[in-house]
Amino acid sequence: MKPKPDDRSDNVERIQENINHTIENMRKAEEMIEETSDETMRRNLIAKNENREEALKGMRKEIREEAIARKNGYKA
């Protein structure tokens, strides 16, 4: 059997959905940070948001690269 060809046609949209979802999770975590008095939970949520911020940087870089590749017809 032949492997399926690489279909990158929806990568930009898929990455954007992931970015939106991550930002929404960050907002929810911020709300929880403000509302909780549990210091351990606060530290955990802050750490998660720091990780999410790093992930966003990577996703934003990836979406730029995919948009450029799409514009160029995905030529290698």
pLDDT for position 1: 78
> What's the token pair of residue 63?
């979406």
Tens of pLDDT, residue by residue over 30-65, are: 999 999 999 999 999 999 999 999 999 999 999 999
Q: Domain residue spans in the chain?
A: 11-71
Alpha helices in 1-76 (DSSP H): 11-35, 39-71
Instruction: Classify residue 36 by its DSSP letter.
Output: -
Q: Is the pTM of this model over 0.85?
A: no
What pLDDT is recorded for position 44? Answer: 98
Dig out the tokens for 28 from the structure. Answer: 């929810």
